[in-house]
Amino acid sequence: MNRAARNPFLWLLLLLLSVVFLGPLVVMTLTSFKTTGESQAVPPTIWPGEWTSRAYDVLLSSPDNPVLRWFANSMIAATAHALLVVLVASMAGYAFARMEFKGKGALFAVVLSTMFVPGFIFLMPNFLILDSFGWLDTLLAIVVPGAAGAFGVFFMRQFFLSLPKEYEESARIDGAGPFTTFFRVVLPNAMPAMVTLLVLSFLTNWNDFVWPLYVLFNDTSLTLPIGLTKLQGAYTIDYPIIMAGAVIASLPVLLLYAFVQRYVIDGVASSGVKG
């Protein structure tokens, strides 16, 4: 064992930080199983004195707040968005990494520069563009516009640059065309990068707040984060119900994260170092 691992202060600090970072999530979950009265107790309790699933029962049977519908909306939108991003960003990233064409340098510079353009300048024009497409208040508004972001293209290009060219060259010698080479040979070797981008895109879309807040209107078309703000308005200080909604919105992303945390963290890490 090395020196750091034998330092008791290190472990004390780690324990303290664990409570700070995870404690609020634990309290949120425990509160969702409390009675309304206990959730407002002074001083507050942490462990529920009386366990009840009332919050979930109310929430899942409320016709005004179709939580399951919101859940489905979020799931469909985030999945479709992530798949779209991976497809278009892989193809474009591959072209930028491996092909020569007129205006490549300038085009890549333009695409890359938009990574530093703050997203809020697109709010008004994209609202009107989506309106003209008839996409307002539909999931298309959540799925498609975000896929125009430059991060995925940049991320996939970086990966393809690091990929050895031998596979593609031997495929070409075997007579494969560029599309066959790409889909049959290159993409199967790009799985780690594709999974990372898929997960990051899913998480971002699942959590997106400002855009869906203004382009979705009807109760049945909301995504979960926007539905949660509606719960806040409907139940004000009935916190077990609001926390139950938050738990339902957290569960898929926390589960996904638990299984693929290495991909998520590697993706985030690479965004800085090579950026």
Partner 1 sequence: MPRGAPRGADRRTGSPLVPYLFLAPYLVLFVTFVAVPAVFGLWISLHDWDYMLDSQIFVGLGNYADLFDSTSVIYPDFWNGMQNTLIFTLASVPFLVVLPLLLAMLLHQKFPGRTFFRAMFFAPYVLGVAVIGLMWRYLLDANFGLVNSALGTEIAWTTSQPWAWVGLVAVTVWWTMGFNAIIYLAGLGDIPVEHYEAASLDGANWWQKFVYVTLPGLRPVLVFIVVITVLASANMLGQSYIITQGGPTQSTQTAIMVITELGLSRFQMGAAAAESYLLALFLAVVSILNFWLMRDRDAAAQRRLVRDQRRTVREQPEVVAR
Length of the chain: 275
Cβ 34 vs Cβ 56: under 8 Å: no
Name the residue nearer to partner 1 (CB basis): 44 or 49: 44
Give the residue with the Cβ less far from partner 1, 64 or 116: 116
Q: How far apart are CA 71 and CA 213, in angstroms?
A: 15
What gap in Å lies between CA 80 and CA 83, rounded to an integer? 5
Residue closer to partner 1 by CB (options 60, 107) is 107
Nearest to 201 by CA among 156, 247, 248, 138: 156
CB within 8 Å of 193: residues ≥ 6 apart:
155, 156, 159
The distance of closest approach from Cβ of residue 47 to partner 1 in the complex, given in angstroms and rounded to an integer, is 12
CA distances from residue 199 to 160, 161, 205 in whole angstroms, order as listed:
18, 21, 10
Nearer to partner 1, 63 or 175 (CB): 175
Instruction: Provide the minimum distance between the beta carbon of 161 and partner 1 in the complex, in angstroms, as a whole number.
Output: 15
Residue 51 beta carbon to partner 1: minimum distance, rounded to whole angstroms: 18
CA-nearest of 190, 196, 194 to 267 is 196
Q: HSE on the CB side for 11, CA within 13 Å?
A: 5
Nearer to partner 1, 46 or 109 (CB): 46
Min dist. Cβ of residue 52 to partner 1 (A): 17
| For partner 1, the closer CB: 68 or 268 | 268
Least distance from C-beta 238 to partner 1, angstroms?
Answer: 11
Smallest distance, partner 1 to C-beta of residue 61, A = 21
